[in-house]
Amino acid sequence: MTNTDNTSNTNTTDLTETIITELLAIKAVKVSPSKPFQYASGMISPVYTDLRMTISYPELRQHIATGLTALIKRQYPNATVIAGVATAGIPHAAWVAEALSLPLIYVRSHPKDHGTGKQIEGALSSKDHVVLIDDLISTGGSVLGAAKAVSAAGAHVDGVVSVFSYDLPDATTNFEQAKTSLTPLLDYHLLLEHLTNHHELSETDCELAKAWHNDPWHWQPVSM
Ligand SMILES: O=P(O)(O)OC[C@H]1O[C@H](OP(=O)(O)OP(=O)(O)O)[C@H](O)[C@@H]1O
Ligand SMILES: O=C(O)c1cc(=O)[nH]c(=O)[nH]1
């Protein structure tokens, strides 16, 4: 794959701002300090970003695919296979693979317990250079589990891209330990900056959102 990314920094900023605006318009981001959400890792948070909603909005999902495609062309120009992480990463991976004319695979969280018993679906060889796509990174546990399966199958993991990352210290540590790079399209700081600049979050909720991010495992729900 050749690197033909012409996206300037300004255009990238415009695109990420557009995507954040569109995510807020479809209410994909929820802030609920008194009734918090539990994440896949077990972490409790006042913020939830439901990127699964994006698949129902063609313009938004196309903006996401454009952004992810540009990231991959720039960061991982030698990729030969795009991998979607089950389940929410799969549709985005499919649209990106289509845009790049690259093969698609997807990786289950666990091997199937019937049929072929596979964890990785699709064709993968030991010569392949794989970029994994997950919709969202909190601790990175899901995508790094998928990356481990790809490595165990003998292929090379070039890196991970995601639509969003909370940019949590857990993820930084986990990606470092796995010697895997992560490039998200959007992150928590960009989101909070947008919400603050556009007065879409009360000062109290903004402080709460920051307090959670500073110490997510010890954050306590706000009693009302
Ligand atoms: O970085 P992590 O701590 O692993 O958390 C993020 C993962 O959690 C969510 O998936 P979930 O397990 O809810 O499953 P789904 O994709 O099937 O909805 C999300 O889609 C990511 O895959
Ligand atoms: O970590 C998670 O499980 C998670 C967090 C979030 O905001 N959204 C989501 O879909 N999953």
Closest ligand 1 atom number to CA of residue 88: 16
Query: Cis omega (within 30 of 0) on the bond before 21?
Result: no
149 C-alpha to ligand 1 centroid (Å)? 16
Q: What is the pLDDT of residue 1?
A: 32
- 67 known member of a binding site: no
Q: Is 0.90 surpassed by the pTM of this model?
A: yes
The confidence score (pLDDT) of residue 221 equals 86
For a pocket test of ligand 1, which of 51, 134, 143, 174 has the largest count of ligand atoms closer than 8 A to its C-beta? 134
pLDDT of residue 9: 59
Burial 48-65 (b: 16+ CB within 10 A, else e): ebbbeebbebeebbebbb
- Any known ligand binding at 137? yes
Query: What ipTM was estimated for this complex?
Result: 0.98
Predicted pLDDT at 51:
98
Nearest ligand (C-alpha, residue 191): 2
Structure tokens belonging to residue 221? 């729900």
The protein residue with its alpha carbon nearest to ligand 1, atom 13, reads 40
Q: Relative to the CA of 140, which ligand 1 atom is closest?
A: 1
Task: Check pocket membership of 165 for ligand 2, CB cut-off 6 A.
Answer: no
Q: What is the CA(73)–ligand 2 centre distance, in A?
A: 26
136 φ/ψ angles, rounded to the nearest 5 degrees: -150, 145
Walk along the chain (224 residues) in steps of 10 and give the mean pLDDT of each run: 43 92 97 93 97 98 98 98 98 98 98 98 98 98 98 98 98 98 98 93 90 95 78
pLDDT score at 2 = 32
Give the Å distance between the CA of 99 and the centre of ligand 1: 24
Please report the domains of the chain, with CATH numbers, ordered by start residue. Answer: 9-214 (3.40.50.2020)
C-beta atoms surrounding 145 within 10 Å: 16
- Token pair, residue 14, equals 């415009």
Query: Is 41 labeled as ligand-binding?
Result: no
What CA–CA distance (Å, rounded) separates 11 from 87? 30
Model pLDDT, residue 10: 60
Please name which of 131, 139, 141, 72 lies closest in space to residue 105, comparing C-alpha atoms.
Answer: 131
